[in-house]
Structure 1
Amino acid sequence: MPAMTGCLKTAARWLLVPLLPALFALPAHSDTPLRMVLNWTYQGPQAWFFLAQERGYFAEEGLDVRIDQGSGSGAAVGSVASGTYDVGFGDINALINYAAQHPDTAPVGVYMLYTQPPFTIAVAADSDIHTPADLEGRTIAGPANDGALRLFPAFASLTNIDVDSVDVMNIEPRLREQMLSRGQVDAVFGFVNTIRFNAMLAGIDPDERLRFIRYSDYGMDLYSNALIVSRQLVEDNPDAVRGLVRAINRGIADVLADREAGMDAVMAQEPLINRDVETARLDATIDDEMRHPELADVGLGNIDPQRMQKAIEIVVDAYGLESTPSVEAIFDARYLPSENERIYSLD
């Protein structure tokens, strides 16, 4: 009997040996990979994304997020809809347009960042263009995926511009401010702070040499950039969406508390940018594009459903879309952080 017991122990040891490498090879935890595309190249107003990554907030939520540069707020919507990316930071109005035409594949907004519309047409300070009507018969240039360019039909409709009389020119983003400064075009499309600070980087004083025709001054009370996610991610992994939103919300709170820490994270991503200009761009974005009276009531990240409904109607009417998406199809508030984690003041 003792001999038999010894044989059994020896056999057990030999059976376990091949299993040990396999057991130790198993990962203790497997993060969910997410591909995220930004609205533009790396800049100061993306500080919260990079700080959330640097401080491990994504990792704490079990996420492995890869953040890539973008080519325009409107382009981010198509990149997520096509499945190239799981997450995007893009224009909610471009999403409205897409959802009206492709309701089954349209992404959905889950966290609203830019509550004020930044869309504008910039002209030279000494130009004879002062009102939207003065744009008729002129040449306006902008990147193809620029949010203001894409919304120009809506702006033209609201301001009674003969859109067919306007020559819209697609140009490389890096040429925009210099072409305007040199008089090669009459006006340019863009976000106010994008044009303002890009002009500074090009050695152009925006306060002395530029004027802005802002869409918001002519009845376009629209939301702008939001965090959007693919329909597939919402359906397959809603917990990942909640974790992503929670991590970015923490990153925003940290940047609001310490903007230099946010800029450190941006500089670590792209050391060649001008820190002073990008810090000023971050400050201006917070002040001009994220502050809205509704913030005290709904909090950053959320929307006013009635205001969103009006925004949807503006976009649908302007583009002559055949269907009108519901507010719920465009924005889903179920993934927002809990009440005590939300941001209700940017001060």
Structure 2
Amino acid sequence: MNILRSFSSFLLAAGFGVLCAAPTVAQEQQTVNVILDWAWRPHHAPFAVGIQRGFFADEGIDLKVEQGRGSATAATLLGQGQFDIAHINVTNAAQAISKGVPIKSIAVYQTRSAAAFIGVKGRVQLDSVEALRPLRIGSTPGGSDGLSLSVFARANGLTVQDFNVVGMEGSGKTTALLQDQVDVVSGDSYAYDALVRAAGEKPEIMLLADFGVPLMGFGFATNETFAAEHPDIIPGFLRAAHRSYAAAVEDPEGACEILRTTYEVPGTNEACVAYFMNLVDLSQSPDDPQWGVQSAEAWDALVGALQEVGEIGADLSPADFWTNDFQPTEN
């Protein structure tokens, strides 16, 4: 009996030890605070998948994701140290860096900008710059719309004044387009493609990247403090982000279902998938072993274009904006 009691006491003690060890394991996870470029939208589906499937936890990361209010705001908050990493439009990140915000781009996966002019098929034909010039362009002054239009005009030997731009709030552009108050709108192709199709129409899309505009899309940025204090965490984050993106591309229907049910993203699953896959078409393949690795040529082109339209100063070099130092050795 004494032996049994001793063995039982051992098991209880061992069990207690395991229970006590659990919080220690949890405490070893590094909290990483991420801010999105916007509120939860279909292109954030990889985050939903990665969190649910434990990809970030596998890297020792306790990921906390906060909805954003635009990439420009995300860059500012990241630079202030309120977040560790941002999912961000890197063109907007470059603008922030030029103004002294202490951040750097650490990965880019959307290598072609989604900036576009979008019309309704059958009403317009967007096959050339000249075809666009007489059309009424619904565009939001300033911000991404204004920048894209300026770079597009300069790249094609024109000025913004050579186009018939109708200024309007971003929230009113879709309605204006569908009600024929404007001929085309400027904006992200993947978003307006889904919106026009949801209204029962087919979109006519003119991608600015096909007409000499070297702007880039989504990627990740970090601030100087987090980079200095946690250089070992960032490669694991990027590795988990890659796994998450690959899983979402492999099963976009399932990824959208996770996103919509977990974060209450409105709309149908079909619309979510269309939105997400339109962005995938502009991005690196998840099968690419260089996924997220940044190109000096792409950054040279982006910085040069922004300098030409006066968005950033001539005293800055491309190396001030980006680094591949945190790329994982294995994806």
Q: TM-score, normalised by structure 1?
A: 0.76
Matched, 1:185 2:182: yes
Matches of 1:132 and 1:81 in 2, distance apart? 38
Matches of 1:57 and 1:261 in 2, distance apart? 16
How much does 1:87 deviate?
2.0
Q: Secondary structure at the match of 2:215?
A: coil
Structure-2 residue corresponding to 1:306? 297
Residue ranges of structure 1 left out of the alignment (5+ in a row): 1-23, 342-347
Q: Find the partner of 1:98 among 81, 96, 100.
A: 96
Deviates more, 1:120-129 or 1:39-48: 120-129
Structure-2 residue corresponding to 1:329? 320
1:247-273 Cα deviation digits (max 9, x unpaired): 111212222333343223212222543
How much does 1:324 deviate?
5.0
Matches of 2:109 and 2:319 in 1, distance apart? 17
Matched, 1:244 2:237: yes
Q: 1:285 to 1:338 in 2, by over 3 A?
A: same
- Contact 2:109/2:284, CA 8 A, preserved across alignment: no
Matches of 1:285 and 1:320 in 2, distance apart? 25
Q: 1:240 to 1:144 in 2, by over 3 A?
A: farther
1:274-326 Cα deviation digits (max 9, x unpaired): 1011112222222x21148xx85x72111221232122211211225323543
1:206-264 Cα deviation digits (max 9, x unpaired): x2xx4223211221133211111222211222222222212111212222333343223
Matches of 1:323 and 1:127 in 2, distance apart? 39
- Contact 2:35/2:74, CA 8 A, preserved across alignment: yes
Structure-2 residue corresponding to 1:60? 58
Matches of 1:129 and 1:285 in 2, distance apart? 20
- Give the counterpart letter for 2:147 in structure 1: R
Superposed counterparts of 1:38-57, under 5 Å = 38-57=36-55
Deviates more, 1:191-200 or 1:27-36: 27-36
Q: 1:25 to 1:130 in 2, by over 3 A?
A: closer
Q: Secondary structure at the match of 1:95?
A: helix
Matches of 1:118 and 1:264 in 2, distance apart? 24
- Contact 1:144/1:170, CA 8 A, preserved across alignment: no
Matched, 1:213 2:206: yes
Q: 1:51 to 1:94 in 2, by over 3 A?
A: same
Structure-2 residue corresponding to 1:7? none
Q: Find the partner of 1:289 among 268, 276, 282.
A: 282
- Contact 2:35/2:68, CA 8 A, preserved across alignment: yes
Structure-2 residue corresponding to 1:235? 228
- Give the counterpart letter for 2:160 in structure 1: V
Q: TM-score, normalised by structure 2?
A: 0.80
- Contact 2:72/2:96, CA 8 A, preserved across alignment: no
- Contact 1:180/1:187, CA 8 A, preserved across alignment: yes
Cα RMSD (Å) of the superposition?
Answer: 3.0
Matches of 1:291 and 1:237 in 2, distance apart? 27
- Contact 2:39/2:69, CA 8 A, preserved across alignment: yes
- Contact 1:120/1:148, CA 8 A, preserved across alignment: no
Matches of 1:271 and 1:193 in 2, distance apart? 17
Q: Find the partner of 1:117 among 88, 113, 116.
A: 113
Bigger Rg over Cα: 1
Q: 1:196 to 1:52 in 2, by over 3 A?
A: same
Q: Find the partner of 2:197 among 197, 200, 204.
A: 200
Residue ranges of structure 2 left out of the alignment (5+ in a row): 1-19
How many residues align? The count is 305
1:160-218 Cα deviation digits (max 9, x unpaired): 33324654635144x321121113334322111111102233x241x2xx422321122
1:88-141 Cα deviation digits (max 9, x unpaired): 222212222222231xx3321112110122111223442487644544794532
- Contact 1:121/1:213, CA 8 A, preserved across alignment: yes
- Contact 1:148/1:189, CA 8 A, preserved across alignment: yes
- Give the counterpart letter for 1:52 in structure 2: G
Q: Secondary structure at the match of 2:309?
A: helix
- Give the counterpart letter for 2:31 in structure 1: P
Matched, 1:254 2:247: yes
- Give the counterpart letter for 1:177 in structure 2: T
Matches of 1:26 and 1:99 in 2, distance apart? 42
